Amino acid sequence: MLTMIFACDKSNAIGKDGDLPWRQSTDLQHFKRITLGGTIVMGRKTWDSLPGKLPDRRHLVMTKSPRNDIETTSFEGVMELAKDEEIFIIGGGEIYRLFLPHVDKIHRTVIHCEVDNADTYAPELSEQEFSLTSSNFTPKTERDDFDMTFEMYEKIR
């Protein structure tokens, strides 16, 4: 099974200058809860933006260049793994667009802001393809920049 997870602003922006355009500790904890113990798939730019490996997760990076610092894979490799286990697609924008037609679930956090000069966006979710199954508004804490809403979408069969 393929599961996508991302945070975006009200306009679907997910990145600016190679980084997240906000500091949201509550969303990072949400991400950790969902992906802990699982396999996460990302593009090279997303891998490069991380401070290193996230604990207790298998990391797979989709890249055309050979790497010896991280396990790499292809689209076909991810699709094969998804037959037997839940795979989490964690970014970035190109990787989200590539896998969107194949995902079963989407965890989307809407950060209640508008990012100026964003350069990376999540794909638009079609109401004909995905159904919103839960939505939970969460006020910001002292460790968050903004309020947020945690949403879960499931593919319409």
Is residue 113 within 8 Å of residue 145, measured between CB atoms?
A: yes
Q: What pTM does this model have? A: 0.94
Phi, psi of 35 (to 5 degrees): -95, -10
- Which three-class secondary structure state does DSSP give residue 99? helix
List pLDDT tens digits, range 72-126. 999 999 999 999 999 999 999 999 999 999 999 999 999 999 999 999 999 999 9
- Which three-class secondary structure state does DSSP give residue 140? coil
Q: What does DSSP say about strands 130-138 and 148-155: parallel, antiparallel, or unpaired?
A: antiparallel
List pLDDT tens digits, range 14-46. 998 888 899 999 999 999 999 999 999 999 989
CB-count burial class (<10 Å; 0-12, 13-18, 19+) for 52: exposed
What is the reported pLDDT for 19?
Answer: 83
What is the reported pLDDT for 18?
Answer: 82
What is the reported pLDDT for 64?
Answer: 85
List pLDDT tens digits, range 37-86. 999 999 998 998 888 899 999 999 998 888 888 999 999 999 999 999 99
Can you give the residue range of the structural domain that contains 89? Answer: 2-155
Report the Cα 133 to chain-centroid distance in Å.
Answer: 18
What is the reported pLDDT for 49?
Answer: 87
CA-to-CA dists, residue 48 to 4, 93, 144, angstroms: 19, 14, 23
- Total domains present in the chain: 1
Closest alpha carbon to 87 in 98, 69, 99: 99
* CATH (domain of 10): 3.40.430.10
Is the bond into 92 cis (omega within 30 degrees of 0)? yes
What is the reported pLDDT for 65?
Answer: 85
Closest alpha carbon to 42 in 120, 119, 151, 116: 120
- Which three-class secondary structure state does DSSP give residue 129? coil
